[in-house]
Structure 1
Amino acid sequence: MAAFLIPGSGSGPSGPRALTSDEASRLAITRFRNYEARGRSVTITVPGAAGGLTVTASLDYRGKLGYGVVHGTGRDASSDGLIEWTATAVYVHPMANAPEHAPASPPRTGWYSRPLRSSGSALDSSLTIALSLGSDRPDNAQLLSQNGAAWWGRDQVNGHPVDIMTGPSSPDRAGTAGNVRYWIGSDGTMYRTRVGVASETQPVVIDFDTRKYVPVTPVPGVTPAR
């Protein structure tokens, strides 16, 4: 995973220090937990110098597909509307008065598609990162520890006690910089992820389980990866 080191707001003892074997095991399975769950609901906070974006969405980690609604924050509503995306394409449905949450059944018309950009777009980098947080197999816990993964502290996310950990450095992932910081529960469940993107000075923040997960329905032209 690509990663970005960001000072945390956790309470209690603070790191960094090497992971214990239990912590390494939980970090190794955290993306697999998302895949096991089939899908998660998320709120993605996308930074921007001219105002940010908030994407309230569901992620299908089996089909590698996201669907939700975009709202501008501190900017006009020109980017507001529904959004669906895969690892390679983005589908947008502009709306003058976008709802708080995307409808469970997306409209069948009014969609515009474009390739998902690998760099230069904080939104597209955020969408790519969100989909990459699921994997059909656990990572290698021993390699995580050997390659620089670390424990940074403890915190709570929406009432869930978590450990804050960073993954090993992976500078080759386009559009990102540094190390990912994860907020992980005692069973390996991921509750928050922060990642720096190369095009912005502020990190992308992805919060999980911010509402009930709604299965993602493909819009015309989208084929889930099964």
Structure 2
Amino acid sequence: MDTSATPAPDTDPEDAADPAVDDATGPAPASRRRRMVLLLLGLTALTSATALVIGLLSWAPAPPEPTRPLTVAESERLAAMRVTNLRDLRAGVRVTVGSGAARTELVGWVDWSRPLLYLDVGGPGAGAERGLLQTSGPVLVIRPDPAAVPTPAAPPLVPPADRWRLHRLAPGATLAPVLHLLFDLAADRPDPAQPLRDGGARWLTQDTVGAGPMDVLEAPLPAGTAPGTGSPAPSGTTPASAQQPTAGDADGRPRYWLDQDGRLHKLVARLPGVGPITVLLNRADRPSLRPVDALGGRPGLPRALTGAEQDRLDRLPARLRAQGGAALTLTAPVGTDTNLRGSGWLSWTARTAYLAVADLGVPDRRTLLRRDAAGLARSDVSAVVGGGGTAEAPGRPPLPPPAGTWRSTRSGADEVSLLLDAALDAARPAGQRGAAVRVREDVVGGRTVDVVEVRTADALVRYWIDRDGPLRRLELRTGPGAWAQLDLTPASVPRLTPAPRPKTTARPAGTPRPRAGTT
């Protein structure tokens, strides 16, 4: 027996072949590395989450940039803002007035040089002013459109010719101080800069609007009258200087978005009785605006008549007498509550005019007017008897004139009478007119005319004379500052029989004779 041989270790052959079995020194090196990587990733995730929670708990927004008084340069820019507006002449404008169900929106243009506002008025709070609006100085005219969509759009550059009427804003109307403020954003001289700094005007922040970076400044609303010549604002408005926000209302302090050239691009304020107002100005939207006929039309460049124009004016009386007569259409805004429309005939040979007149405020009534050598007579009748039609376009007066209550009126007592007198006097010798100037060239009824203005002792009259000679329109400046028109169309004029005159009754002995012009 050989005792020198060493016995084999007691091991499982499968265990000896499995590399995953650990020996007495620990796990294999690859396994240790994997476990170490997993441990480090877990620690990193835990550290990141802890830092994020701590950062969120300790975060606070950066403090706003502090406001400060205006610098000298900023106060001078703000003081010159209104002069800059007047120098730029015009701008597109979008205004939001009030909020919610009382909100009114205005879109259009402001012409500070004229001054003239041309706006489309909409929004749920527009009320009676919904539609188109133009105002120049103290005269405000609207073209109401109750069925217009709530959201306004820029009005047509060439305004519609029909349905304009004088309008008075009701006391306390929202639009009154807004229109005045838009006019008040221009002036012909800078505001004093020192009072702006002394009055608490401040620089708030910088902002960016469509035109670029702006300084946002806080300062009072401008004070004064409408720009340029000191024209009053539309009737019924309150000066912007009287519309200061309530003291202590931080949200109501007016704020101006001003660029580096002193041009205003945005204005935000709160007006008592009106609420918040936001004005956006588009400085690149600057079309030439045309006032409607009730505001006198395009202003033109008045000058002396040329020889040809003077010759046409001198020949006008003979041409009218040869023409005989014309059909006429009356458009007369003679008061804020009186907008007249009329239709009828005029005869220069018989020196007679006869027409039916409607007041837009009383659509179911007509007034028949008869102007002849005996004077002016009128009779109030129903719309059916007076020629029918609508108040905006009344029909021709009935022939013969109906019997009824006719009353005599002194000739020249009102604007319509003055306009009829001017139309009949156009056939008189030219020497009886005053000095004439040519205002502009225009178009009426598809015909090119020269608009010639003549100032008489009683009125300011414009003759629209066709280049071929006929008289196409007469205009008269009315008391409120608007213009009334009498359009004349060559036509065959029916025989205009005299209107029935008030009957005279026998007077008892000793009864005084009634004064002329009374019934």
What code does the residue aligned with 1:32 have? V
Q: C-alpha offsets along residues 129-168 of structure 1, whole Å, 9 cap, x if unaligned?
A: 1111111122122222122222111111224211111224
Please point out which of 94, 104, 115 is paired with 1:43: 94
What code does the residue aligned with 2:281 have? F
Structure 1 residue 83: deviation in Å? 0.8
Aligned to 2:229: none
Aligned to 2:198: 146
What code does the residue aligned with 1:25 have? E
What code does the residue aligned with 1:193 have? L
Provide the C-alpha distance between the structure 1 equivalents of 2:161 and 2:197, rounded to a whole number of angstroms. 47
Structure 1 residue 181: deviation in Å? 1.6
Please point out which of 169, 191, 214 is paired with 1:162: 214
Provide the C-alpha distance between the structure 1 equivalents of 2:179 and 2:126, rounded to a whole number of angstroms. 21
- Aligned pair in 2 of structure 1 residues 78, 185: CA closer, same or farther (>3 Å)? same
8 Å CA contact 1:43–1:210 kept in 2: the answer is no
Question: Using CA pairs below 8 Å that are at least 6 residues apart, which structure has the higher relative contact order?
Answer: 1
Structure 1 residue 114: deviation in Å? 2.2
What code does the residue aligned with 2:104 have? L
Aligned to 1:55: 106
8 Å CA contact 1:34–1:133 kept in 2: the answer is yes
8 Å CA contact 2:196–2:219 kept in 1: the answer is yes
Please tell me whether residue 89 in structure 1 is matched to residue 162 in structure 2.
Answer: no
Structure 1 residue 56: deviation in Å? 0.6
Q: C-alpha offsets along residues 81-137 of structure 1, whole Å, 9 cap, x if unaligned?
A: 1111234332111223467221111122211222356x6222221111111111112
What code does the residue aligned with 1:164 have? V
- Aligned pair in 2 of structure 1 residues 143, 77: CA closer, same or farther (>3 Å)? closer
Aligned to 1:137: 189
Please tell me whether residue 66 in structure 1 is matched to residue 93 in structure 2.
Answer: no
8 Å CA contact 2:95–2:280 kept in 1: the answer is yes
Please point out which of 270, 277, 280 is paired with 1:204: 277
Task: Number of aligned residue pairs: give it.
Answer: 211
What code does the residue aligned with 2:280 have? D
What code does the residue aligned with 1:182 have? Y
Q: C-alpha offsets along residues 164-207 of structure 1, whole Å, 9 cap, x if unaligned?
A: 1122477983344254321100111100011221113x311100
What code does the residue aligned with 1:65 have? L
Provide the C-alpha distance between the structure 2 equivalents of 1:76 and 1:193, rounded to a whole number of angstroms. 21
Provide the C-alpha distance between the structure 1 equivalents of 2:100 and 2:66, rounded to a whole number of angstroms. 31
SS in 1 for 2:180: helix
- Aligned pair in 2 of structure 1 residues 175, 135: CA closer, same or farther (>3 Å)? same
Please tell me whether residue 180 in structure 1 is matched to residue 180 in structure 2.
Answer: no
Please tell me whether residue 80 in structure 1 is matched to residue 130 in structure 2.
Answer: yes
SS in 2 for 1:115: coil
Aligned to 2:70: 19
Please tell me whether residue 222 in structure 1 is matched to residue 273 in structure 2.
Answer: no
- Aligned pair in 2 of structure 1 residues 218, 160: CA closer, same or farther (>3 Å)? same
Let me know the Cα RMSD of the aligned residues: 2.9
Structure 1 residue 19: deviation in Å? 0.4
8 Å CA contact 1:41–1:212 kept in 2: the answer is yes
Please point out which of 105, 121, 128 is paired with 2:173: 121
Provide the C-alpha distance between the structure 1 equivalents of 2:126 and 2:121, rounded to a whole number of angstroms. 12
8 Å CA contact 1:45–1:53 kept in 2: the answer is yes
SS in 2 for 1:110: coil
- Aligned pair in 2 of structure 1 residues 168, 176: CA closer, same or farther (>3 Å)? closer
Higher helix share: 2
Provide the C-alpha distance between the structure 2 equivalents of 1:162 and 1:134, rounded to a whole number of angstroms. 20
Provide the C-alpha distance between the structure 2 equivalents of 1:43 and 1:172, rounded to a whole number of angstroms. 18
Identity value in percent? 27
Larger radius of gyration: 2
Q: C-alpha offsets along residues 49-71 of structure 1, whole Å, 9 cap, x if unaligned?
A: 63311111111111121002112
- Aligned pair in 2 of structure 1 residues 57, 184: CA closer, same or farther (>3 Å)? same
SS in 2 for 1:216: coil
Structure 1 residue 14: deviation in Å? 4.1
Q: C-alpha offsets along residues 10-66 of structure 1, whole Å, 9 cap, x if unaligned?
A: xx6241x21001111110111111101011111011115633111111111111210
What code does the residue aligned with 2:290 have? T
- Aligned pair in 2 of structure 1 residues 106, 148: CA closer, same or farther (>3 Å)? same
Please point out which of 191, 195, 218 is paired with 2:265: 191
What code does the residue aligned with 1:81 have? G
SS in 2 for 1:177: coil
